[in-house]
A = this chain, B = another copy of it.
Amino acid sequence: MRRVAVVGAGMTAFGEHFGLGLKDLVPMAVTEMADSVEKGLDRADIQAAWFGELTTTDGFPSGILADSCGLLDIPVTRVENACATGNDAVRNATYAVGSGVVDVALVVGADKVRESSARSTFWEWAALTRDMAWDYPLGLVAPANFALHVARYLHESPATREHMAMVAVKNHRHAVSNPKAQLRFEITVEQALAAPMVVAPFGLYDCTPQSDGAAALLLVAEDVVDRYTDRPVWVRGVGLGLDRVMHQHKTDMTTFPPTVKAARAAYTMAGLGPDDIDVAEVHDCFTGVEMISYEDLGFAPRLGAYRLVEDGVTSVGGAKPVNPSGGLKAKGHPPGATGVAQCVELFEQLRGESHNQVDGARNALAHNVGGPTAVSAVTVLSVDRG
C-alpha cells in the first residue's frame, strides 16, 4: 500500500450548538481544514469523502455532507461504528487512498445530539449502539454499560475513585487552553468525588458531556503530498477490533479486547509499539475507561494504570501525555466527530502547533472504544523528524 498523509485538519468547537445543525457544523469544519492546508486546497481536487456520523438526526448523512459542502461530484460514504466511527472513517479512507484509486480524500466526522428539532437523539444513539433484544431493554445504556466494567476494574486493581477523579482533573486542566473544548474549567479531586452520582462508580465529573460538533481531515497519497505541504503527518497504522456485544458473553470485564485487537493491528502496520508513542488521545467517555485503555493500549501493565495517574505520566509535561486536548471528558463528545477530532488534535501536536503542545512529539495515537464495549478503532500518526 502506498503511504497516506494528513495534510489538513480542522474542527468546530465542541459544545451545545443549539443554533447550529449538521448542515452548519460540517462546512465549518471543512472550511477550517481547507484553510489549514499550507499550500492551499482547490476543493475540486477532492476525489472522494468518508463521513463518520452516528445519530442521523438531520436525515440522509452522505447527502448532507455533499450538499452542505457543495461537493456534489464526488462519492461520499457514510461509515458508522458506534463511538469508534471517527477513526474507522479514517481507516476506510486510508485504504482507498492507499489502494491507488483515490489521491485526495476528505474525512469528516460530525454529530448533532443536543436539542435536534427533528428527532430525539439520545435514544437513537443508545439504541444504535446496544443490543436491542437483551442489553438495551435491561437498561444497559452507555453509562450503565461502562459502569459494569469499571466497577469490576476498581475491585480487581489498586485503582480507586480518587484515581478516576485525578483523570478528570487532568483532562479538565488540559482543556482550559483548548479553544475548541466544551468544558474549559479546572476542577479539583474533592469536587469530582463530591459530585452527584450518575451510576456507580461514575460521578458527574467521571462522565463526558454530550456535544454537537464536526471535524475534518484531508488525506492524500504520498505521490501528491508535495502539492499540499512540506510537513506531512503520515497515517502509519490503522486498526479496528471487535468483541461480543452482550455483556453476559464477555469473559473479563476489566479489559476491552477490541482495543487490544485494534492497537495490535495499528502498531503492526506502523511498525511501532506503545513505547514509541509520544502523545495519545484516548477514549475517556468515562474516566475509568481511560485507565483501562492505558493497559489495553500497552501504556501500562495490567491493573497498573493507577501508577501513571499518580505519577503524572499522562499529564502534559509527563512522559506520555494523554488527552492534551481535554479528551472526551472536557473537550466534548459528538460521537461521529470524536475520532476525527482526536486526529485533528494529534495533527497539530505533530506539527508543533497545539494549544497544549507536547514537546518533540513524533508518534501519536488516537483511540476510540464504543458500542457495548464491543468495538475499538486506533490510528497511529507520525512525522519524519531529522
Contact = CB atoms under 8 A, between A and B. Distances in A.
A100 B96 CA distance: 11
A234 to B, nearest CB: 15
Interface in A235-282: 239-246, 249, 261-262, 265, 269
Nearest to A76: B242
A1 B74 contact: no
Contacts of A76: 81, 240, 242, 375
A240 to B, nearest CB: 3
B119 A242 contact: no
A57 interface: yes
A118 interface: yes
A28 to B, nearest CB: 17
A160 interface: no
A99 B66 contact: no
B132 A72 contact: no
Nearest to A116: B132
A92 interface: yes
Contacts of A178: none
Given A128-B56, A242-B63, A101 B1 contact: yes
A245 B63 contact: yes
A297 interface: no
Contacts of A119: 127, 132
Interface residues of A, number: 66
Nearest to A375: B62
Interface in A82-123: 82, 88, 91-92, 95-96, 98-102, 117-119
Contacts of A131: 58-60, 63-64
A61 interface: yes
Given A95-B99, A371-B60, A74 B245 contact: no
Contacts of A77: 79, 81, 88, 91-92, 240
Contacts of A241: 75
A244 B72 contact: yes
Contacts of A62: 81-82, 242, 371, 374-375
Contacts of A136: 59
Given A77-B88, A82-B62, A371-B60, A244 B67 contact: yes
A261 B74 CA distance: 8
A333 interface: no
B129 A59 contact: yes
A138 interface: no
A72 B251 CA distance: 13
A78 interface: yes
A172 interface: no
A242 B66 contact: yes
A-B CB proximity, top 3 nearest: A75-B240, A59-B132, A99-B99
5 contacts: A23-B133, A59-B130, A63-B242, A63-B244, A78-B79
Given A67-B245, A76-B375, 18 more contacts: A1-B99, A58-B132, A59-B128, A59-B129, A60-B131, A60-B374, A62-B242, A63-B82, A63-B371, A72-B243, A72-B244, A77-B88, A77-B92, A98-B99, A98-B101, A99-B99, A117-B133, A119-B127
